[in-house]
Amino acid sequence: MTKVGFLGIAHMHGYSYARALKRMSDIEIVGLYDEDSSRMKKACIDLGIKPCEHPEKLVAKSDGVIVTSENSTHRKFVKIAAEEGKHVLCEKPIATTLEDAEAMIEYCSRNNVKLQMAFPVRYSASAKKSREIIGSGQLGEIVNLVGTNHGRMPGGWFIDPVLGGGGAVMDHTVHVVDLVRWLLDCEFTQVYATYGALIHDIPVEDCGLEMFKLSTGQYMTLDCSWSRPKAHPYWGDVTLHVVGTKGTLFLDIFNSKIEVYSNEKGNRWEDYGDNLDYLLIEEFVDVLRSGKTPFTRGEDGLEALKVVNAAYKSFKEGGEIRIS
């Protein structure tokens, strides 16, 4: 029996990860700790998980730990798990500062612990097929890329500049950066970014546009906005248009859906494609049981955060920033 504990349930993906674990055999969720006692109580009732008042005791009973707390608190929870020698799956972004991200990787390295990042987009069949197509040369030389990651404004701690570390740029850039790094085996070298609170009256940005240069020579743009209205039938998208000298590829990660028109519930989309959260959790369970290196590593989280930090610096300084 593989035992998994949850440290924090602030991020909505924590619910999805718990439900994925409950679908698997020989898995026990040993408990949940959250600093917000009312949030912990509600999640434990909703998910049928035992609450735990002390994170150290929960980690001691677990084979592995999933961290889905607020972005700025990832470091302290990863440290608790690493010092107990327990492998960790950490929600994205890895942290809100490079100092915290580097410390998390160091904690895990020093204690021989695997640190997996919650970058589920890579796990989709369409992303894997796209990597195969690009790698085979079918598109010829890649010329440029255009990406989007749109979603609804989540509210709550996500719009707290300290707890979230930023707004839509922090929340949505990291997924697409990780995807492109993996698809093209490249790094992001330069960024020019602009952003603002253009839709909602909130203290962080809800719209962002970033322009990148890649180490492989291409230019790329990314719209990373919280621009989906509440009435939109699905939370958002992750898309990537890859233009080559021999062809183009359009990747639409979450377009596997059924459109439902209901007099009672209104119009909505129901996803029938890959459950990316399930595939991510399946990988984590494999890491716990085999000790293998995760598909999406802490180092990938660090590289994505470097891009985000450079984007914020670009806006503040009003110019192009080199990413190092």
Looking at the structure, do residues 71 and 126 belong to the same domain, yes or no?
A: no
Looking at the structure, do residues 126 and 109 belong to the same domain, yes or no?
A: no
pLDDT in tens, the chain (324 residues): 999 999 999 999 999 999 999 999 999 999 999 999 999 999 999 999 999 999 999 999 999 999 999 999 999 999 999 999 999 999 999 999 999 999 999 999 999 999 999 999 999 999 999 999 999 999 999 999 999 999 999 999 999 999 999 999 999 999 999 999 999 999 999 999 999 999 999 999 999 999 999 999 999 999 999 999 988 888 889 999 999 999 999 999 998 888 888 898 788 888 778 899 999 999 999 999 999 999 999 999 999 999 999 999 999 999 999 998
Q: How many domains does the chain have?
A: 2
Single out the residue in 68, 83, 113 at which a domain terminates: 113
For residue range 17-62, list pLDDT tens digits in order. Answer: 999 999 999 999 999 999 999 999 999 999 999 999 999 999 999 9
Q: Write out the two tokens for 275.
A: 């459950």
Whole-angstrom distance, CA of residue 52 vs CA of residue 35: 10
Looking at the structure, do residues 46 and 158 belong to the same domain, yes or no?
A: no
Whole-angstrom distance, CA of residue 85 vs CA of residue 272: 37
Q: Which amino acid is at 234?
A: Y
Name residue, tokens 């701690």: 157
User: What pLDDT, on the 0 to 100 scale, is given for residue 107?
Assistant: 98
CATH number reported for the structural domain that contains residue 47 in this entry? 3.40.50.720
Owning domain of residue 197: 122-274+305-322
Looking at the structure, do residues 63 and 206 belong to the same domain, yes or no?
A: no
Residue 235 covered by a domain: yes
Report the alpha-carbon angle 131-136-140, nearest 5. Answer: 100
Single out the residue in 84, 113, 142 at which a domain terminates: 113
Looking at the structure, do residues 167 and 129 belong to the same domain, yes or no?
A: yes
Q: Write out the two tokens for 187.
A: 């790094």
CATH number reported for the structural domain that contains residue 181 in this entry? 3.30.360.10
Q: Write out the two tokens for 314.
A: 């670009």
Q: Write out the two tokens for 110.
A: 């020093």
* Cβ pair 84, 60 in contact under 8 A: yes
For the chain, give the number of residues.
Answer: 324
Looking at the structure, do residues 73 and 52 belong to the same domain, yes or no?
A: yes
For residue range 210-253, list pLDDT tens digits in order. Answer: 999 999 999 999 999 999 998 888 888 999 999 999 999 999 99
Category of 155 on φ-ψ map: left (φ > 0), alpha (ψ -120 to 50) or beta: left
Looking at the structure, do residues 18 and 42 belong to the same domain, yes or no?
A: yes
Looking at the structure, do residues 100 and 136 belong to the same domain, yes or no?
A: no
Q: Write out the two tokens for 202.
A: 């909130």
Looking at the structure, do residues 161 and 266 belong to the same domain, yes or no?
A: yes
How many alpha carbons fall within 13 Å on the CB side of residue 74? Answer: 36
Looking at the structure, do residues 259 and 209 belong to the same domain, yes or no?
A: yes
